[in-house]
Amino acid sequence: MKIAAGDADATHSFSVNTALLAPFLGAAYSNGILIHSAGLHMHNLGTRGRISLDGSSGDRCLLAIDAWDFHWQGSYRFDKPVKLPIGDTVKLECHWDNSQANQAIYDGEQLVARDVEWGEGTTDEMCLGVLYVSPP
C-alpha cells in the first residue's frame, strides 16, 4: 500500500470472499456469519472509507465514513446483526489526501509531502476494517 506524495485522492481497496475463510472459521460458521458491528481505522491523511458486502443480496453498505477524523474512531454497533452468507464478499475501501496542503503541522512547521506506506506511526498510514462477528 503506497500513497504517493502529492496524491490528493489515493485509494486502496481490498476484498475477501468468505468461502476462503470458511476452513479457518470452523463448523459453527457453516451457515454464515452474523456481523454485530463495524469500524474503520486510518491515520491523519485518511479522508473517507467504506466497508460493504457483495453477494447474494447485492451490494450492501455496512459502514461509510465520508469525513474521516483520526481523533474520532470507534466501532458502530448495528441495531440488528447483519447476516453474511458464506460465499459473499467483504469489501474495504480507504481514501487519503497526501497533497502538500493536507500535511500535518509539527512544532509550527508543516511537514513536506512524502510517499507514505503502511506503518504504526501517525505519519504512516493504515486501512483497517474491523468486524465483530459470531455464528448465526
Which fold would CATH assign to domain 2-100+112-129? Jelly Rolls (2.60.120)
Query: What is the pLDDT, as a whole number, of residue 56?
Result: 76
DSSP letter string, 110-122: EPPP--EEB-SST
**Looking at residues 125-131, what average pLDDT do you find?**
96
What one-letter code names the amino acid at 58? Answer: G
Query: What is the pLDDT, as a whole number, of residue 2?
Result: 94
Q: What is the pLDDT of residues 75-101, one digit of tens each?
A: 999 999 999 999 999 999 999 999 999
Q: How confident is the model at residue 25 (pLDDT cuts 50, 70, 90)?
A: confident
Q: How confident is the model at residue 11 (pLDDT cuts 50, 70, 90)?
A: very high
Residue corresponding to grid cell 463448523: 27
pTM value is 0.91
Domain ranges of the chain: 2-100+112-129
For residue 121, CA distances in Å to 43, 68, 84, 125 come to 8, 17, 33, 7
DSSP letter string, 120-131: SSTTSB--EEEE
